[in-house]
Amino acid sequence: MPDKTLDRLFLETLKDVYYAERKILKALPKMARGAESPKLKAALEKHRDETEGQVKRLQEVFELLGKRAQGKTCDAIEGIVAEGEEILEEFKGEPALDAGLVAAAQAVEHYEISRYGTLKRWAEVLGMKDAAKLLDANLQEEIKTDQDLTALADASVNQRALEKAG
Ligand SMILES: [Fe+2]
Ligand SMILES: [Fe+2]
């Protein structure tokens, strides 16, 4: 494959995050169902809905590039989601479950923040203003979600995790 330019890198990374978002779309309801705290459940459900909008924005970016929206297996998100599933199983019914779920969800957000931060910058460098705007919209939602999760952890979840089981 020729053309190993920034355009190419941009497209490949876009496919990576597109794959990741669709994986997350399936993972968030499972995490929401598993969460004990109604507030954490609500936060995860809200972000599932936002994620649907994020997938649509990514489809718009593909359209701007004149490319078919297509994912490329992202091993990083596979691993991050698998770790979240492990927490769900291992801490089921335990006081520390929600603290583990918040941590797992934040690992997802941090991955997304990293990807969108890079993609937005590259879109700017490549002169793709509209794409940069769409990517920034996703980035801001991920940052807000990460902050909301930190607030939840501080407000109740981490304290609850200190309690003894049973
Ligand atoms: Fe996302
Ligand atoms: Fe997210």
The rounded Å distance from CA 144 to ligand 2 centre is 9
Q: What is the number of the ligand closest to the CA of 53?
A: 1
Residue 14 Cα to ligand 1 midpoint, Å, equals: 12
Q: Over the stretch 109-166, which tens digit does the pLDDT of each residue have? A: 999 999 999 999 999 999 999 999 999 999 999 999 999 999 999 999 999 999 886 5
Query: Over the stretch 65-85, which tens digit does the pLDDT of each residue have?
Result: 999 999 999 999 999 999 999
With cut-offs at 50, 70 and 90, classify the pLDDT of residue 3: confident
pLDDT of residue 48: 98
pLDDT of residue 4: 82
Are 126 and 53 contacting, i.e. CB atoms less than 8 angstroms apart?
no
**Is pLDDT of 1 > 60?**
no
Between the CA of 2 and the centroid of ligand 2 the distance, in Å, is: 33
Cα 164 to middle of ligand 1, angstroms: 34
| Single-letter amino acid code for the residue at 33 | R
Residue 134: count other Cβ atoms within 10 Å of its Cβ: 23
Is the pTM value of this prediction over 0.85? yes
> Any idea which ligand is nearest the CA of 55?
1
Q: What was the pLDDT predicted at 166? A: 58
How far is ligand 2, taken at its centre, from the CA of residue 126, in Å? 25
Residue 90 near residue 29 (C-beta atoms within 8 A):
no
In the prediction, which pLDDT does 21 show?
98
Q: How many whole angstroms separate alpha carbon 89 and alpha carbon 77?
A: 18
Region class of 111: left (phi > 0), else alpha (psi between -120 and 50), else beta? alpha
User: What pLDDT is stored for residue 22 in this prediction?
Assistant: 98
Alpha-helix runs per DSSP H in the chain: 6-34, 38-65, 75-90, 97-125, 129-152, 158-161
**pLDDT tens digits for range 9-31:** 999 999 999 999 999 999 999 99
